[in-house]
């Protein structure tokens, strides 16, 4: 596919942003998704030009509706499994395209694996041809069900190659290998960000991950579905902190080709998260227990000392503040939907 005479035209004649910094032509894959849409917005606010590519599998146009019409932004629907030609010069590529929620990435595991591997290959080829720096959104899932706590980048992980999570975990591991090899074989300037569980506003209510599920359930008075006995742990980072970290990693002047963890190191059981969300929403929802999914990791907590020392990055948003912002977002969405239903009923 050949994209973007529009992008090319939109980009002629600009090389410096309003801060006098170099204006980057930036490609964001997965830019209509939860993290990608926030990243697109932050890049535009920093004065860069953004080409957003997404197949809209889990991403939504609502996430980027305010960006459509911005002269520095172009959206193109495209699946990164298929090769892409872009005539415009590119300085940066953020490769975020891939469903991240287990129920979503398990719907079509072969496509998920292709997205991770063929998608990474296509983006690396593009980076090589354009001389662009490229950042891969990797994941804490490369550690699988970890046997060491906390997980530092030197840990090789404990992943089942044949389980229901393998399409994602092994796909992301293979993508890291491809990044590493393109760096060594073709001197592509790569960044590999291992992202731990991140949540926040603009998650889809249908996403299926724990925080969005619990918030939607608590606000609508449905049962809160805790998998297993809820003793498994995760560490939750707020969206804005994470995206700030990715941008500073991308722009770090030193070539950092080794993976770097991004996450918030506080560890909570899933049951604690359910109780906290019930408290914060003052919900009457009951907690119900469902079977633990196969290969669900028992504990996860990032060691972020590398990000702290290399980038001076540290997450600053507390779980309470992040949850409050997320709850406010889902409440507003529910109110909008209720208003829509009422006005439809009036029309009838």
Catalytic residues: 168
Report the C-alpha gap between 304 and 193 in whole angstroms.
11
| Subset of 277-306 contacting ligand UDP (CB under 6 A) | 293, 296
What residue 96 binds from ligand NAD, ligand UDP, none (CB within 5 to 8 A, per partner kind)?
ligand NAD
Pick from 100, 270, 319, 323: which binds ligand NAD (CB under 6 A)? 100
- Examine residue 310 and tell whether it contacts ligand UDP (CB under 6 A): no
Q: What is the DSSP letter of 68?
A: T
- Examine residue 226 and tell whether it contacts ligand UDP (CB under 6 A): yes
Please, which residues have CB within 8 angstroms of residue 303's CB and are 6 or more apart in sequence?
A: 150, 151, 152, 153, 261, 265
Q: How far is CA 23 from CA 8, 69, 167, 188, 307, in A?
A: 14, 19, 37, 20, 25
Piece of 64-72, 222-230, 319-327, 328-336 that binds ligand UDP (CB under 6 A)? 222-230
DSSP helix/strand/coil, 226: strand
What residue 54 binds from ligand UDP, ligand NAD, none (CB within 5 to 8 A, per partner kind)?
ligand NAD
Pick from 28, 51, 96, 120: which binds ligand NAD (CB under 6 A)? 96
List, in sequence order, the alpha helices (H) in the chain.
5-11, 34-45, 102-105, 109-130, 166-186, 210-220, 239-250, 270-281, 305-311, 319-347
Pick from 40, 192, 210, 319: which binds ligand UDP (CB under 6 A)? 210
Residue 222: Cβ-neighbour burial (10 angstroms; 0-12, 13-18, 19+): middle
| Subset of 114-133 contacting ligand NAD (CB under 6 A) | 115, 119
Number of residues that bind ligand UDP (CB under 6 A): 14
Check if the beta carbon of residue 30 is closer than 8 Å to that of residue 114.
no
Residue 115: Cβ-neighbour burial (10 angstroms; 0-12, 13-18, 19+): buried
> Which residue shows structure tokens 């990032």?
302
Piece of 42-50, 79-87, 320-328, 330-338 that binds ligand NAD (CB under 6 A)? 79-87
Residue with smaller CB distance to ligand NAD, 81 or 292 = 81
DSSP 261-321: EES----EEHHHHHHHHHHHHT--PPEEEEPPPTT--S---B--HHHHHHH-------HHH
Q: What character string, x for contact with ligand NAD (CB under 6 A) and - otherwise, covers 133-162?
A: ----x-x-----------------------
What residue 200 binds from ligand UDP, ligand NAD, none (CB within 5 to 8 A, per partner kind)?
none
- Examine residue 317 and tell whether it contacts ligand NAD (CB under 6 A): no
- Output the smallest distance, CB 309 to ligand NAD, in A: 22
Pick from 3, 27, 34, 94: which binds ligand NAD (CB under 6 A)? 34
What residue 306 binds from ligand UDP, ligand NAD, none (CB within 5 to 8 A, per partner kind)?
none
- Examine residue 189 and tell whether it contacts ligand UDP (CB under 6 A): no
How far out from the chain centre does Cα 113 lie?
16
The sign of the torsion formed by the CA atoms of 132, 133, 135, 136 equals: positive
Interface residues toward ligand UDP, by CB under 6 A: 101-102, 197, 209-210, 213, 225-227, 232, 234, 270, 293, 296
Interface residues toward ligand NAD, by CB under 6 A: 29-30, 32-36, 54-59, 79-81, 96-100, 115, 119, 137, 139, 195, 197-198
């Amino acid at each position: 596919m050949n994209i973007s005479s529009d992008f090319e035209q939109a980009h002629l004649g600009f090389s410096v942003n309003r801060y006098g910094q170099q204006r980057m032509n930036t490609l964001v894959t997965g830019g209509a998704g939860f993290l990608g849409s926030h990243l697109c917005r932050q890049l535009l606010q920093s004065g860069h030009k953004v080409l957003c590519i997404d197949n809209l599998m889990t991403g939504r146009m609502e996430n980027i509706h305010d960006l459509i019409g911005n002269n520095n932004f172009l959206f193109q629907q495209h699946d990164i499994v298929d090769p892409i030609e872009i005539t415009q010069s590119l300085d940066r590529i953020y490769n975020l395209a891939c469903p991240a929620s287990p129920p979503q990435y398990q719907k079509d595991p072969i496509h998920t694996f292709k997205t991770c591997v063929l998608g990474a290959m296509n983006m690396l080829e593009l980076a090589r041809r354009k001389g662009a720096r490229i950042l891969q959104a990797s994941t804490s899932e490369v550690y699988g069900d970890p046997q060491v706590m906390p997980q530092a980048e030197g840990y090789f992980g404990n992943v089942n190659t044949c389980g229901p999570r393998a399409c994602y975990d092994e796909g992301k591991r293979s993508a890291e290998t491809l990044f590493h090899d393109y760096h060594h074989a073709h001197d592509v300037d790569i960044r590999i960000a291992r992202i731990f569980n991140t949540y926040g506003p603009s998650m889809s209510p249908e996403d299926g991950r724990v925080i969005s599920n619990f918030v939607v359930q608590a606000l609508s008075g449905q049962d809160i579905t805790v998998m297993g006995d809820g003793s498994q742990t995760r560490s939750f980072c707020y969206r804005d902190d994470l995206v700030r970290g990715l941008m500073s990693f991308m722009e770090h002047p030193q070539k950092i080709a080794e993976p770097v963890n991004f996450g918030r190191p506080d560890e909570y059981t899933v049951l604690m998260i359910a109780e906290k969300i019930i408290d914060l929403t003052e919900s009457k929802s009951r907690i119900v227990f469902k079977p633990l999914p196969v290969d669900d990791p028992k504990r996860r907590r990032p060691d972020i000392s590398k990000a702290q020392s290399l980038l001076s990055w540290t997450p600053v948003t507390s779980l309470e503040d992040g949850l409050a912002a997320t709850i406010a977002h889902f409440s507003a969405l529910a109110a909008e939907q209720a208003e829509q239903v009422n006005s439809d009923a009036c029309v009838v």
